[in-house]
Structure 1
């Protein structure tokens, strides 16, 4: 077993290890060294999947631009914006200490569709002015100046969502820091490119296209249909408001029924079987039971290889991962194409001797291990002032939990008792043969635990060298050991009495109260929320007044994550509002724009339900990201309405003109972002289970928010404007 240092790169460490193994095989020709488990394989495959998603997302975004723009030089400007923005982003990675990993590359994939958004707005506005007869340089200069404020504000609102995440401590901060920095850097780079490089390239185009050349028959019909729908919405404002309200209510009802988990489970191709025998079992018996599991797993085709880690761990590992001698771990390496979730129940139901119990679970990724506090999904603590109160009901609670279909692997974390012995000295016999208590104590301690002979000193630690007898494995053999007396060597048992005294294997106290802990996993086909409800139902029906229950583990992590995401969401909304208030110099218009946020949340709930996804940390983070994305279209549209009104247009005409001029770039930016995230949302390759929920949440929320805000933002603008005509607020 080779483990990397905390600050070492996994992939590089594995490459160096394989190099050393190859050298050893050359030196020792009769020995073959075979790598059984390689953590870098999953990492390489996952990063490769993200890289492919970035490239495919960028290609799809360019295809969308080709369909809409249909001009080579204009398309060239947008196509150059993407790699140039990525190049600037990678330059910024070094000073920010961002490495290439699954999270940072997911940030680049997330930004792949958004990198061209600013460029699209600039290009489309310059093209519109060219159609009105302006020259190339004049159109480039005026086109950029018209939208510079809007795209700067929209970029800052998106950055305002990601920056707080980089400053958050704890789980969310550790998990999403690199992703957030990647998005922030890419958006800042795209803004810089859109305001400088893009107008420079577009201004070199001498030929001016008329609108009819740019638009297809389908595009003309789409524009005409939108104008009619927008006009109808302005005539039936309260109908549109009621419809959006009903959509939000339906989404709220749906979101309460969605499954919940900390993060999606990722397939590793390995299953861990924890075996537990009675507390008096020796290593030989543990090995025999492990061998039985191995033979049955291989005979059924469940495993290509089997790894076994049995008995008490050595002192170096015992401090980090303690395990008693009557337990062991058997890892099944699954054949290619075999999924762990398909055979977990079959392995759990193996016909084994009555003296062995097993807990079967898939091997978790390092990310899942980081996010969970134990090897079980749920911790159930029975808390009481007097331990015997909890002892009296723990068996009944465990029995009821085991029959609940929502739960699996229900067990007590420690054995009810372990065999111990109370030793008493025979003082009169000791005095007769001249044996002192200190000498007898030293013999007993050396026989039971060994004797520290010396220490091995290294640069930063001291390793004790312990001498221990291998054949002393029972109380009988310990008492049979010889001790020096006045009359020669005599058995220790002549001077000591041993009385069996069963004691609890462990005493757990939380906040000074005695705790008995049970653990359980979420059963296949159920989610964390339903499992927690099942636990609460059992504890409420059984526990007396003197015992209370507390649920932790993944449930506690989920609640902490939910609180962290909620705090980040609140801070993001506040920052977005302040940026918009400064941009529009108005306190009401930012609220109109922020209406797109709950509409996006409605889309998130609907798409999660349709795709069978759960509410987890990844999908919640996607919802936070949406706060900065969905307001962009509303910002541009509101800004254009204000410009048209400042030019003297009435409210209704200004809204219709802004809708006509902005609907195409809004659709283009939305489609490019959605298609840029589509490879991630489809979930191909290793680690796709982690990436897909975030992308699916963003795609669903952005799509619904775009469609609805094309109508609800102009309607609300119209309502507020008519209410404030005399105060000149709008």
Structure 2
């Protein structure tokens, strides 16, 4: 874009009859401040992103560094190679007949647009308050319909895979789990567009157990097949109808390193029973939220167990401790070392323990003998035995017991359901010492959108300060920054029309726009100030600036928009992830670029009206005199 601004200005001087070398010199000198300003704004936007840490730095640092160095190199090329080549290549007498023939259609369109634009600019300058009111209304209207845009941390991606996680009763055997998995596998293989199925029984890590299994379905890579999200939808009611089984269905790809389901609500406290009761209320609430599916929690009743409560008073009279009780009981089950067997130079421990039948029978446990100072005493005389259901795992977060209620989202976005969930979650009473918190994708949205929001604010501030320093005017820097909210007029409709939720990549596109949309205003005001200093009235100067700078602005915006079209279409590996960034940039550039040509003139006129009212012209004349 820097080279476009320079070479277009050089060509304009050639068309005015200047010698190519003089045209290159005048054209480059005239546009140099504007080119330097546009480059500085781009650097002011991307340098903070390039230097940011955390997950955002990992994701966008390479991209930001690439933009920073390519922008610096483009500035050097635009101010050195481009003028040299423009002075020596091309005819000073204008385009050839072949060029006029090939570009005649474009020139016809441009002339028509130029005439229309000239009329509109004169209208906005003639009625500045009405024009500003219209643009303010358009911006406010775009902000008002922003709630129609969903929010999610990472863009959804159809990778042609569907994952089915299932869990049977805690006491289920491997054979029972295998039988249910085979039923699911057979049903899935009967569906169209299924390429293959992988099955893992037993799980891994904290989700291990013979009652757990994961079925991963691979879909054919054909344009006719439904998306993985559409394929997964009918599976949910089918799996829900199977008895004695819990299941969840996840479609698409990863979510930027976020593990687990999209919605994760963590309940923290001390008592497991209170946590479990609260979790049941949260699950009931989530099931009422539209778009929330596969509601579950990570707490399980576990397998049957026998809990022993030692009778410390009786054990004390028998001179028998809890450690003696646990050690001997462990020995009954795993074995007591009774000696060593030696053979062939090797030693083997001799363990004495109960038979498998005795260990597996809970009815014989109370009669197990334990040696005490008063002789052998049965276990039931030393401790109280209770049949209970013990948890398979006890999870803690921040040194507190916790239960996590999780769910998937279908047919909507995490941001939309989060607003509903957060409101309803506040209606659930919590005892003192207990609290809710979010994890998973909601937590990522809260953390990382805040980081990018800070980067956006920093980008706006740096851009404003850089423009003010280069143009030596805080007033005109403020006028130029007014084009930033104008881009919202294009961003919101672009996301709505393409049915694209705002994501972390979309917000990155908004940050990019800060450095892009101000460029048009910089180019316009820079020329208007040049014309005004040469004696032209401010109204005439801004109208002339819009007419002269229309062509390079259209060329620069068109190249940026066209370059982003393939990215917006999601072409290539991972293209769907970066698509929101391009969609936001295209919408913002079109709106910000076109509207800047109409919104800046009336504001510029009012600024100079205020300056004259407060004596600026008198001071300027006294200095000149």
User: Same fold judged by TM-score > 0.5?
Assistant: yes
1:220 aligns with 2:111: yes
1:444–1:478: 8 Å Cα contact kept in structure 2?
Answer: no
Q: Which of 394, 408, 412 is residue 521 of structure 1 equivalent to?
A: 408
Equivalence for 2:544: 657
Query: Displacement of 1:386 after TM fit?
Result: 4.6
> Residues 141 and 508 (structure 1 numbering): CA distance in 2 closer, same or farther, change over 3 Å?
same
Q: Which residue of 1 aligns with 2:243?
A: 354
Equivalent of 1:208 in 71, 92, 96: 92
2:389 alignment partner, SS class = coil
1:727 alignment partner in structure 2? 616
Q: How many residues align?
A: 574
1:692 to 560, 570, 579: 579
Structure 1 stretch displaced more, 248-257 or 222-231: 222-231
Which residue, 495, 512, 521 being the options, matches 1:625?
A: 512
**Alignment partner of 1:177 is 2:66:** no
Partner secondary structure for residue 517 of structure 1: strand
Residue 123 of structure 1: aligned partner: 7
- Give the alignment of 1:331-480 within 5 angstroms: 331-337=216-222, 338=225, 339-350=227-238, 353-362=242-251, 364-365=253-254, 368-370=255-257, 372=258, 374-384=259-269, 386-422=271-307, 440=328, 443=331, 446=334, 476=360
1:18 aligned partner: none
Q: Summarize deviations over 1:468-490 as a string: whole Å, max 9, x none.
A: x9x97995089999x9x99xxxx
> Could you tell me how far 1:266 is from its partner in structure 2?
0.6
Partner of 1:500: 387
SS of the aligned residue for 2:164 comes to strand
- Could you tell me whether the CA contact under 8 Å between 2:162 and 2:218 is conserved in 1? yes
d(CA) in 2 for partners of 1:516 and 1:474? Answer: 36
Give the whole-Å Cα distance in 1 for the aligned partners of 2:65 and 2:546: 34
Given the alignment of the two structures, is residue 260 of structure 1 paired with residue 151 of structure 2, yes or no?
A: yes
Deviations 1:6-31 (A, max 9, x none): xxxxxxxxxxxxxxxxxxxxxxxxxx
TM-score after normalising by structure 1? 0.72
Q: Which structure 2 segments of 5+ residues have no match?
A: 337-352, 372-377, 621-625
TM-score when normalising by structure 2: 0.83
C-alpha displacement at 1:162, in angstroms?
Answer: 0.9
1:575 Cα deviation from its structure 2 partner: 1.0
C-alpha distance 480-141 of structure 1, shift in aligned 2 (>3 A): farther
Structure 2 partner of 1:232: 123
Give the deviation of 1:187 after TM superposition: 1.6
- Kindly indicate whether residue 31 of structure 2 is the aligned counterpart of residue 147 of structure 1: yes
Residue pairs, 1:561-576, within 5 angstroms: 561-576=448-463
Query: 1:541: Cα distance to partner?
Result: 4.5
Distance 1:472-1:580 versus aligned 2 partners, 3 A rule: farther
Aligned-pair CA distance for 1:156 = 1.5
Q: CA deviation at 1:329?
A: 1.3
How far did 1:727 drift?
Answer: 2.4
Deviation at 1:168, TM superposition (A): 1.4
Say if 1:622 and 1:475 are closer, same or farther in 2 by CA, change over 3 A.
farther
Is the 8 Å Cα contact of residues 270 and 332 (structure 1) preserved in structure 2?
yes
Separation in 2, partners of 1:479, 1:188: 82
Question: What residue ranges of structure 1 are gaps of 5+ in the alignment?
Answer: 1-116, 449-468, 487-491
- Superposed CA RMSD in Å reads 3.6
Deviations 1:406-447 (Å, cap 9, x if unpaired)? 21010111213443333689999x99xxxx868746646757
Q: What SS does structure 2 have at the residue aligned with 1:375?
A: coil
Secondary structure, aligned partner of 1:622: helix
Match of 1:160 among 34, 44, 52: 44
SS of 2:453 mapped into structure 1 = helix
> Aligned partners of 1:717 and 1:585: how far apart in 2?
16
Measure the CA separation in 2 of the matches of 1:598 and 1:261.
22
Give the deviation of 1:515 after TM superposition.
3.4
Give the Cα–Cα distance (whole angstroms) in 1 for the partners of residues 155 and 506 of structure 2.
Answer: 10
CA contact (8 A) 1:286 1:311 kept: no
Q: Aligned partners of 2:358 and 2:179: how far apart in 1?
A: 20
Distance 2:273 2:293 in 1: 26
Provide the rounded CA distance (Å) in 2 between the counterparts of 1:542 and 1:179: 44
Q: Within 5 A, what are the aligned runs for 1:183-198?
A: 183-198=67-82
Larger radius of gyration between Structure 1 and Structure 2: 2
1:677 aligns with 2:561: no
Q: Note if contact 2:480-2:518 (Cα within 8 Å) is conserved in structure 1.
A: yes
* Contact 2:358–2:364, Cα closer than 8 Å, also in 1: no
Q: Is the 8 A contact 1:597 1:630 kept in 2?
A: yes
- Greater shift, 222-231 or 299-308, is seen at 299-308
Q: Is the 8 A contact 2:50 2:57 kept in 1?
A: yes
Residues 599-648 of structure 1, C-alpha deviation per residue, up to 9 Å, x if partnerless? 01221112111221111111111011000011111111111111111222
Q: CA deviation at 1:525?
A: 1.5
Judge conservation of contact 1:254–1:609 (CA < 8 Å) in 2: no
Which moved further from structure 2: 593-602 or 127-136? 127-136
Q: In 2, distance between residues paired with 1:256 and 1:348?
A: 29
Aligned to 1:607: 494
Give the Å deviation of 1:304. 2.5
Q: Equivalent residue of 2:200, what SS? A: strand
1:347 is displaced (CA, Å) by 1.7
Q: Is the 8 A contact 1:280 1:326 kept in 2?
A: yes
Structure 2 match to 1:323: 208
Q: Contact (CA 8 Å) 1:397, 1:538: kept in 2 or not?
A: no
Determine helix, strand or coil for the equivalent of 1:588.
helix
Per mean C-alpha deviation after superposition, the further-off stretch among 223-232 and 575-584 is 223-232
Tell me the alpha carbon deviations over residues 244-270 of structure 1, each in whole angstroms, 9 at most, x when there is no partner: 010111011011231111111111111
SS at match of 1:279: coil
Which deviations, in whole Å up to 9, do the C-alpha atoms of 1:87-107 show, x marking residues without a partner?
A: xxxxxxxxxxxxxxxxxxxxx
Give the Cα–Cα distance (whole angstroms) in 2 for the partners of residues 120 and 181 of structure 1: 23
